[in-house]
């Protein structure tokens, strides 16, 4: 993983869904794709825990702001997707343990 991509990943670890403030969006499994070009263009595909998430705008803005704040990022292309729809099985096992789901 390139240093720039690693820095983008770390920035995303600082973004939280206000309804689940103990686990960041990356560890919740809400980030589906992160592509980083050598020119610093970052493409992100993500979802939300619900199609009717009341914090959708806030989360989307937080993702963009976090990634734009990474040194070396020149452009952020964020895409909100709902396919596949989020479900509890997408949460990594380590996070499920923290949340007390297993």
Domains of the chain: 3-99 (3.30.300.130)
Strand, coil or helix: what is 40? coil
* CB count in 10 Å sphere of residue 100: 6
Per-residue pLDDT, 96: 85
Residue 92 confidence class, pLDDT cut points 50, 70, 90: confident
CA distances to 11, 12, 17, 39 from 74, rounded to whole Å, are 15, 16, 25, 7
pLDDT tens string 28-53: 999 999 999 999 999 999 999 999 99
Per-residue pLDDT, 1: 65
Residue 25 confidence class, pLDDT cut points 50, 70, 90: very high
């Amino acid at each position: 993983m390139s240093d720039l991509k690693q820095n983008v990943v770390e920035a995303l670890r600082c973004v939280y869904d206000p309804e689940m403030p103990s686990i960041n969006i990356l560890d919740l499994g809400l980030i589906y794709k992160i592509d980083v070009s050598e020119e610093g263009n970052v493409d992100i595909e993500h979802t939300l825990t619900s199609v009717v998430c009341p914090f959708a705008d806030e989360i989307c803005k937080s993702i963009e702001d976090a990634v734009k704040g990474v040194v070396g990022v020149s452009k952020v292309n964020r895409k909100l997707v709902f396919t596949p729809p989020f479900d509890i099985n997408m949460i990594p096992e380590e996070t499920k343990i923290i949340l007390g789901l297993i």
